[in-house]
Amino acid sequence: MHVTDNSGDVVVTGLGATTPLGGDAVSTWAAMLAGESGIGAIEEEWAADLPVRIAGRLKVEPAGALDRVQARRMDRCEQIALVAAREAWADAAGPDVDPERLAVVIGTGTGGVLTLLGQDDILESSGVRRVSPHTVPMLMANGPAAWVSIELGARGGAHTPVSACASGAEAIAMGLDLIRLGRADVVVAGGAEACVHPLPLAGFAQARAHSTRNDAPERASRPFDAGRDGFVIGEGAAVVVLERAAFAAARGARVHAALAGAGVTSDAYHITASHPEGQIRAMRLALSSAGLSPLDVGHVHAHATSTPLGDLVEARSVAEAVGTHPAVTATKSMTGHLFGAAGALGALAAICAVRDGVIPATRNLEVLDPEVKLDVVAGAPRRGPLRAALTNAFGFGGHNASLVFTSAP
């Protein structure tokens, strides 16, 4: 099937995920609306002496959904990307598209870091002959995109944005560009991350970025709350299928929402600290790309990782770029921070909010930080029609990505 119309309208026809809240997109969204927590204690022996012993682990292990031999040759990050992509593709009813007009964009922050660290341990303890011959394709950051492209037969490009915690959102922004530029009719885009390991945990603990509420894991991630003390590491993947609107209409596809615009900027300021100007520019570019004004936005899905400074910077940026009128939520309160997959999961939540007319509540928001001048949804989901939702993702290195979704055309 080939549609030559190169108009800029792009729609979302497929959703897939595997997260600390559920093994698929449907159960993840239901758990968000129910205000559940996917964060728990790390009970493995290797965590006993760490200052941080909590994480958002996958609700459903991915290997069971994959061929046994295939799973052994894939890093966990690659496994979950493929699981989420399969679900998204099936949800989109498997578009009949020219392989050269089908592209894949899967972002990640650390790629196959579990393989890298694990195989290094083997090298040090057992020698070179015990290192897996599959090490390199398992650790490479482009592995998730490569596996998904092989699975779907996508020959229109397999791309991998690596922009820390903005990776998944930047992947979706790139998918929008590929379609608008006429280079693809269908793009499978999203993010994947699996790095629950002693080294990242120790590093974040030393940087005092991670919550240390080891005695109350479910209460540890507290975006915008006055008592927040850091993020909680999480793992998971989220993938969407994007289509040129005319292509989707020609095949009678069901549409979840429209991807109306995207904005991607860099701070050029500091390797870990965010600058509000970069965030503000990303949001304004996304709205301009969508042809919308700030007053059109009824919902903002915040990046809001639960760090004392980061949440406050974003709150001020949202107020400046969009205003204080939108209903704001932060689902990392339930999943933890999925790093390279966070922006993609935030996009999925925003898509579902626009589609269903309901915004999940921010978990653990007991006392709103008095310096946060936003309408943060707490207690129970908020229902009502939404014309447009904006979602943010910001990462170390000064990466900023904002996406705007509108109700289905």
Distance CA 350, CA 203 (A): 31
Tell how many helices (H) and how many strands (E) occur in the chain: 13, 15
In angstroms, the CA 291 to CA 285 distance is 10
Rounded CA separation 78/192 (Å): 8
Write the single-letter amino acid at 42. I
Catalytic residue (choose from 210, 256, 337, 399): 337
Q: Which candidate in 165, 210, 256, 275 is catalytic? A: 165
CA 25 to chain centre: 12
Active site residue 195: no
DSSP-derived secondary structure for 44-96:
SGGGTTSS--EEE--SS-SGGGS-HHHHHTS-HHHHHHHHHHHHHHHHTT---
Q: Which tokens in the block code for residue 260? A: 């109306």
**Cβ neighbours of residue 87 under 8 Å, at least 6 residues apart?**
14, 15, 16, 17, 18, 24, 25, 239
Look up 134 and say whether it is catalytic. Answer: no
For the question of residue 337 being annotated catalytic, the response is yes
Classify 356 as helix, strand or coil: helix
- Of 197, 301, 303, 399, which residue is the catalytic one? 303
Q: What is the largest CA-CA distance in the chain?
A: 62
Q: Which two tokens stand for residue 301?
A: 């899905």
Q: Which residues are catalytic?
A: 165, 303, 337
